[in-house]
């Protein structure tokens, strides 16, 4: 019985460690996960396409599903003047073009691990991101990504305009296509 358990464990371990994080030109990744930021939580999706051994480009989109009450309902003073604007679709949605430097094979921690700093141009700002992926199989893994604005397109943003225009963290699943 112990031999069978050991055999099954070895086979599953060999199966789970068969992933590859980034394979270079032509590599395609799809990520979907949760987006966490101040006063909002939502969903994030991204697609990356490998152009070279360590370079990829792609698109990313976020939508804030859950927002704080003052952004959901708006806030008015006793005279009816709007103090905090209600967050609309344009405040909740963001679309980004992105560039990644996939350096997992450079730092050589594990062939299933990829670290990718990058830059992005969004509808809200010019920003950066730092992400990490780990693949458990050839097709499935987990990712986490920190995103931050470098230059915002507008000054004096309202609280609703701060959504997708501030530091955020994404966490979710990544798939090889």
Is the dihedral angle over the CA atoms 147, 91, 95, 124 positive or is it negative? negative
pLDDT for 112-135, tens place per residue? 999 999 999 999 999 999 999 999
Q: What percent of the chain has pLDDT over 90?
A: 60
Q: CB–CB of 84/42 below 8 Å?
A: no
Helix (H, G, I), strand (E, B) or coil at 142: strand
pLDDT for 18-74, tens place per residue? 445 666 688 899 999 999 999 899 999 999 999 988 899 999 999 999 888 778 777
Nearest 10 degrees: CA dihedral of 106, 110, 113, 115? -30
Q: Who contacts 159 (Cβ-Cβ below 8 Å, separation ≥6)?
A: 39, 70, 71, 84, 85
The pLDDT of residue 145: 97
The pLDDT of residue 83: 65
Q: Which residue in this structure is represented by tokens 């806030």?
A: 75
Residue 15 has pLDDT above 60, yes or no: no
Give, in order, the Cα–Cα distances in Å from 31 to each of 1, 41, 48, 62.
40, 17, 9, 12
The pLDDT of residue 159: 86
Phi, psi for residue 156 in degrees, rounded to 5: 50, 60
| Whole-prediction pTM | 0.79
CA diameter of the chain = 77
């Amino acid at each position: 019985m112990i031999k069978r358990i050991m055999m099954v464990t070895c086979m599953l371990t060999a199966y789970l460690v068969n992933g590859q994080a980034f394979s270079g030109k032509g590599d395609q990744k799809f990520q979907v996960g949760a987006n966490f930021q101040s006063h909002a939580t939502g969903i994030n999706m991204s697609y990356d396409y490998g152009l070279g051994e360590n370079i990829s480009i792609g698109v990313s989109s976020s939508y804030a599903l859950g927002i704080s009450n003052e952004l959901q309902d708006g806030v008015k003073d006793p005279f009816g003047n709007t103090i905090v604007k209600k967050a609309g679709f344009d405040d909740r949605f963001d679309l980004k073009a992105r560039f990644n430097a996939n350096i997992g094979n450079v730092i050589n921690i594990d062939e299933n691990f990829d670290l990718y700093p990058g830059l992005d141009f969004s509808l809200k700002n010019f920003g950066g991101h730092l992400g990490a992926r780990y693949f458990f199989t050839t097709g499935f893994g987990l990712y986490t990504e920190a995103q931050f604005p470098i230059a915002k397109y507008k000054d004096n943003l309202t609280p609703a305009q701060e959504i997708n225009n501030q530091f955020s963290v994404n966490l979710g699943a990544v798939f090889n296509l």
